[in-house]
Structure 1
Amino acid sequence: MTEYPDPVPADRAPDPDRPRRRRPAVTTALIVMCVGVYGFGRLWPEVESTLIFAPWLGETQPYRFIGSAFIHADFWHLIFNMYALWLVGNAIEPAFGRWRFIALYALSAIGGNVAVLVLSDPTGVSYFTFVVGASGAVFGLFGALFVLAKRLSRDTTALLILLGINLILGFILEGISWQSHLGGLIVGVVLAFFYVRTNRLWGHIAATAAVAMTLAGTILLNYA
């Protein structure tokens, strides 16, 4: 039998004496934040106009690369994304640990908007099209779940079908940013790949920093 490194980080190894696993506190906090921002946005539209992302806005207001992940177009957009976030967060936050989960979420959200920037036409309407929602971040988490499941030799057929359908819908239905989905998915897969390849903390920190710097460099190059 071949032995593989433990896919769960060493500093997050489960305690066999613990009767219940820890609650997904970060997942819960993210959902509360998104719901709260949505509520404030209904009362004060300035909240959404401050956080919404479009390539032409990101150069002078880079906080929009992450801020737009906390606002949603309508109630059902919010509900769908929060339900998906709850499902996948419950699955992978305990496995990766809180700070890695935060990194996965934040960098996937940024990566989604970076993809929107890179794939937009500076002379066309796509450069001025607004993008909102946690979909890029959620796709990143699903990508991380896929990597973790493969590492544990689990059946990933259903997950692949789900991802494939949602990616295809982004190309078919209007009002869905397939660029954001694709960018978030790529970032989530890359980060999770490095997280499960080693259980050394410094390796995880280095991988997180490398992905963050790559995204920052891509932004700078595109605006240069």
Structure 2
Amino acid sequence: MDQAPGSPQGPQNQGPSEARELPVCYRHPDRETGIRCTRCERPICPECMVDASVGFQCPECVRTGSGTGHAPAASRPRTLAGGTVTADPRLLTKILIGINVAVFIAGYVRPSLLNDLVLLGAWPPKPFTPTAGVAGGEWYRMVTSMFTHHEIWHIAFNMLSLWWLGGPLEAALGRLRYLAVYFVSGLSGSALAYLLASPTTETLGASGAIFGLFGATAVLMRRLNYDLRPIVALLVINLIFTFSPGMNISWQAHIGGLVAGVISGYAMVHAPRRRRALVQYGVCALVLAAVVVVTLVRTAQLT
């Protein structure tokens, strides 16, 4: 989440004498995987994994009910995190990108619109009573700032990151759980920026939510025993840019989103099966409660 101006490869198994390549997913030949369907034993990647009572199954075995010609209601395809497998695993990612692009175009046509959507702490600042900004009662800015961008490079970079990270994560978690991680991360980024940044600084962009997707993706890859080096390297590069002098980037939003993404992502992929939904959404609710507390504390400081 930037401040406006003026404002996987799977791991390799080592044999006793030489490295041995992992098999590739039977539906995606470009993806190596160490997971196999517990029914037909075909190799499957995270996008094709369907959570079963024991291990994972491929979509075909779940759909056919292991040769019976139909799948019982209790065996509906499920993702690794317990979400429902859908025909278009990137639907929400496409919708989020569409909303960001639509807001960007609207802001380009009517530049004054951005002034009403960006994250602004308080205006005017103390000793005056704020009439605008979050401290002035405009809490909606915590959300709308997640969909606003100032420059074409800004939205282009963020949307490419959203497509690259969001699609696989949506497929692995399921739509509702993916959306929960996205908004929890974005709101956490907004809250930390509101708490630590200057109250007159305008902050905007989807980067807080995207850093949350970085964190959740790393947790997911660790859960699947994938090589973490590519995602860690990319994250380190982004953090270097975040803290580089003169970049005018809201490090508060990035760090807030990253931490929330790791926490909510861990809950999504490590929740016990028996109380999975309760743990997953309960953790998200706790993070949102922390967001509310931080917002209230900062508002009290500014009013």
Please tell me the TM-score bracket, short chain as reference. Answer: 0.7 to 0.9
**Residue among 201, 205, 209 paired with 1:133:** 205
Structure with larger RCO (C-alpha < 8 A, sep 6+): 1
Which position in structure 1 is the counterpart of 2:190?
A: 113
Which position in structure 1 is the counterpart of 2:250?
A: 177
- Quote the Cα distance in structure 2 between the aligned partners of 1:127 and 1:213: 22
Aligned-pair Cα RMSD in Å: 2.1
Amino acid at match of 2:134: G
Equivalent residue runs for 1:68-217 within 5 Å:
68-120=145-197, 126-172=198-244, 173-198=246-271, 199=273, 200-217=276-293
Deviation string, structure 1 residues 138-169 (Cα, Å, up to 9, x no partner):
00011100010111111111211111111121
| Structure 1 pair 182–64 and aligned structure 2 pair: CA distance change class (3 A) | same
- Tell me by how many angstroms 1:191 deviates: 0.4
| Structure 1 pair 21–152 and aligned structure 2 pair: CA distance change class (3 A) | farther
1:55 aligns with 2:121: yes
Runs of 4 or more, structure 1, over 6 Å off, are none
User: Which consecutive residues of structure 2, in runs of 5 or more, have no partner in the other structure?
Assistant: 1-45, 64-85, 123-132
Deviates more, 1:89-98 or 1:26-35: 89-98
Is the partner of 1:182 in helix, strand or coil?
Answer: helix
Contact in 2 for aligned 1:52/1:67 (Cα 8 Å): yes
> If each structure's helix is expressed as a fraction of its own residues, which one has the higher value?
1
- Quote the Cα distance in structure 1 between the aligned partners of 2:242 and 2:257: 13
Which position in structure 2 is the counterpart of 1:221?
A: 297
Amino acid at match of 1:194: A
Is the partner of 1:160 in helix, strand or coil?
Answer: helix
Contact in 2 for aligned 1:111/1:183 (Cα 8 Å): yes
- Quote the Cα distance in structure 1 between the aligned partners of 2:232 and 2:155: 23
- Quote the Cα distance in structure 1 between the aligned partners of 2:110 and 2:201: 22
Deviation string, structure 1 residues 60-98 (Cα, Å, up to 9, x no partner):
111111111111011111111000000011110011111
Deviates more, 1:39-48 or 1:20-29: 20-29
Contact in 2 for aligned 1:55/1:127 (Cα 8 Å): yes
Which position in structure 2 is the counterpart of 1:16?
A: 59
Which position in structure 2 is the counterpart of 1:43?
A: 109
* Structure of greater Rg: 2
Amino acid at match of 1:103: A
Contact in 2 for aligned 1:41/1:47 (Cα 8 Å): yes
- Quote the Cα distance in structure 1 between the aligned partners of 2:169 and 2:181: 10
- Tell me by how many angstroms 1:135 deviates: 0.6
Deviates more, 1:129-138 or 1:200-209: 200-209
| Structure 1 pair 141–149 and aligned structure 2 pair: CA distance change class (3 A) | same
- Quote the Cα distance in structure 1 between the aligned partners of 2:195 and 2:108: 31
Is the partner of 1:128 in helix, strand or coil?
Answer: coil
- Quote the Cα distance in structure 2 between the aligned partners of 1:43 and 1:131: 20
Is the partner of 1:23 in helix, strand or coil?
Answer: coil
Amino acid at match of 1:37: V
- Tell me by how many angstroms 1:9 deviates: 9.0
| Structure 1 pair 153–62 and aligned structure 2 pair: CA distance change class (3 A) | same
Q: How many residues are paired up? A: 211
Deviation string, structure 1 residues 152-199 (Cα, Å, up to 9, x no partner):
111111211111111121111422111111111011001011111114
- Tell me by how many angstroms 1:14 deviates: 6.7
